[in-house]
Amino acid sequence: MNIAVQIVLLVVGTSVVLGLVAGVIVLIYRGKYRSAAAQLESELTAETVVRPFEKGNYRGATAPGYPSVKNNGRIALTRRRLVFLTLTGTTISVPLDAITGLRLAKVFKGSVAGGWTHLVVRTAGGEIGFYVTDTAAWLQALGEATGLTPDPVG
């Protein structure tokens, strides 16, 4: 058998195996996300929703007890908490009574993305950052829900 054919077969075989592994991982996380989303939707029926779920991005935290890994997902605000559901099925919940400050920031944890502004909530232990589509509306809604005045932008 020609060496070129062997190389092509090796590349194709490796690609198939990696595709199967990736498919299994996607199916596992999709199931975990759907299960977490169903549970969270059920919980939110008992809460007053201020801002319903919308796409967002979790940017990590300096506060203990919150994941440091960034992740895409969906974010919502209720009268009781700010909640984020990652695409991997992790629920991040910040009780409103634990929030001590609010701010917008171009840079959070050394991270900058062109055109994006971080929505940052402060707790006694540190900060938690998010990207949302309408940061001004989120900042206003969080200010009204917590009774806090956001830090001046500057």
* Tens of pLDDT, residues 88-104: 889 999 999 999 999 99
The boundaries of the domain holding residue 20 are 3-146
The position carrying tokens 């498919």 is 23
pLDDT, average across residues 53-70: 94
Is there a domain that residue 37 lies in?
Answer: yes
pTM for this predicted structure = 0.80
Is there a domain that residue 152 lies in?
Answer: no
Q: Answer for the pair 127, 121: CB distance below 8 angstroms, yes or no.
A: yes
Is there a domain that residue 153 lies in?
Answer: no
Is there a domain that residue 125 lies in?
Answer: yes
Q: Tell me the CATH number at 59.
A: 2.30.29.30
CA–CA distance, 147 with 84 (Å, rounded to integer): 21
Is there a domain that residue 154 lies in?
Answer: no
Is there a domain that residue 140 lies in?
Answer: yes
Is there a domain that residue 119 lies in?
Answer: yes
DSSP the chain: --HHHHHHHHHHHHHHHHHHHHHHHHHHHHHHHHHHHHHHHHHHTTS-EEEEEEEEEEEEESSTTS--S-EEEEEEEESSEEEEEETTS-EEEEEGGGEEEEEEES-BTTB--TT--EEEEEETTEEEEEEES-HHHHHHHHHHHHTPPPPPP-
Biggest CA pair distance of the chain: 74
* Tens of pLDDT, residues 111-148: 888 889 999 999 999 999 999 999 999 999 999 999 99
Per-residue confidence (pLDDT) for residue 73, from 0 to 100: 93
Tally the domains of the chain.
1
Per-residue confidence (pLDDT) for residue 154, from 0 to 100: 60
Is there a domain that residue 24 lies in?
Answer: yes
* Tens of pLDDT, residues 19-58: 888 887 777 777 777 877 778 787 878 899 999 999 999 9
Per-residue confidence (pLDDT) for residue 105, from 0 to 100: 92
In 3D space, the residue among 98, 96, 102 whose CA is nearest the CA of residue 77 turns out to be 96
